[in-house]
Amino acid sequence: MEERSRDDAAVAQPQKRRRNAAATRQAILDSARLAFTRCGYDGVGVREIAQNAGVTAMLVNRYFGSKENLFKEVVEATLSAPGILRREVIKPNRDLSTLSRDLAVALVAKTAPGLTPLDGILILSRSAANRQAAKILRENAIQYLQPLADILPGSRTAERAAVLLSVISGVQLMRQVVGLPALVESDPATLAEQLEVLLEHLVTGE
């Protein structure tokens, strides 16, 4: 039998398919984000996240090191995504005379009945009972609030920014997750007006 050449042998051998690292990493993050929004930090494990991403638990740990690190990256990505306190709303040197109104209108629109709750509030409400998850949420919230505090006039801006975020998060939670009837059934325009008055005190510091 004639011996095959090296080239023929190379062709005959199956070629290993190269893994797209970026796509794999994103698939894991997408799976984790969905899992954390549905079940919270304590309600899901690395194996389930890996399975839904189409990879192994070992590969998840290879990319992220631990469930804690994975949760941290999900929180960072979620808070950086466009939301009620989006960058164009709290950008430097913006006209503060309309900030309260813009925030109130955005809050009412994005929490309208029938809309899926924003991922951030779901992760927060379902993960905060875990001390390590709460620490990650707190650290990210502090960094997230700094741009807002920077544009507020007057004193105690960090405190006012934190209260403002608390009001926004509370309305999201009570309107979309708890389903408080007075908020769910409220006329959108009236609710926005009421929120604007409340937010205006925090924005101006008066």
Lowest mean pLDDT among 92-101, 106-115, 162-171: 92-101
Retrieve residue 154's tokens.
């007057």
The average pLDDT across 118-131 equals 92
Query: In the chain, what are the domain boundaries?
Result: 19-65, 96-204
- Closest by CA to 89, choosing from 193, 168, 171, 201, is 168
Looking at 3-118, list the stretches that DSSP marks H as alpha helix, in order from N- to C-terminal side: 6-12, 21-39, 46-53, 57-64, 67-80, 99-110
Say what percent of the chain tops pLDDT 90. Answer: 65
Using pLDDT thresholds of 50, 70 and 90, give the confidence band for residue 92: confident
Per-chain mean pLDDT for the chain: 86
In 3D, which of 76, 2, 71, 77 has the Cα closest to residue 36?
71
The tally of CA atoms less than 13 A away on the side-chain side of residue 35 is 23
Q: pLDDT tens digits for 185-203?
A: 999 999 999 999 999 999 9
Q: How far is it, in rounded angstroms, from Cα 91 to Cα 96?
A: 10
Output the six-digit token pair for 96.
């503060």
**Looking at residue 85, what is its pLDDT?**
72
Domain 19-65 has what CATH class? mainly alpha
Higher pLDDT, 151 or 82: 151
pLDDT at 17 exceeding the cut of 50: no
In angstroms, rounded to a whole number, what is the distance separating the alpha carbons of residues 127 and 34? 13
Give the count of alpha carbons within 13 A of 102, CB side only. 16
Reference 90, options 161, 170, 169; nearest CA is 161
Q: What is the pTM of this model?
A: 0.79
Tokens 């505090």 belong to 149
**Phi, psi angle pair for 38, to nearest 5°:** -85, -40
Residue 87 pLDDT level (bands cut at 50, 70, 90) = low
pLDDT number for residue 6: 39
The reported pLDDT for the residue numbered 5 is 41
Average pLDDT estimate for 78-85? 74
Q: Which of 84, 99, 104 is nearest to 196 (CA)?
A: 104
**Amino acid in position 169:** S
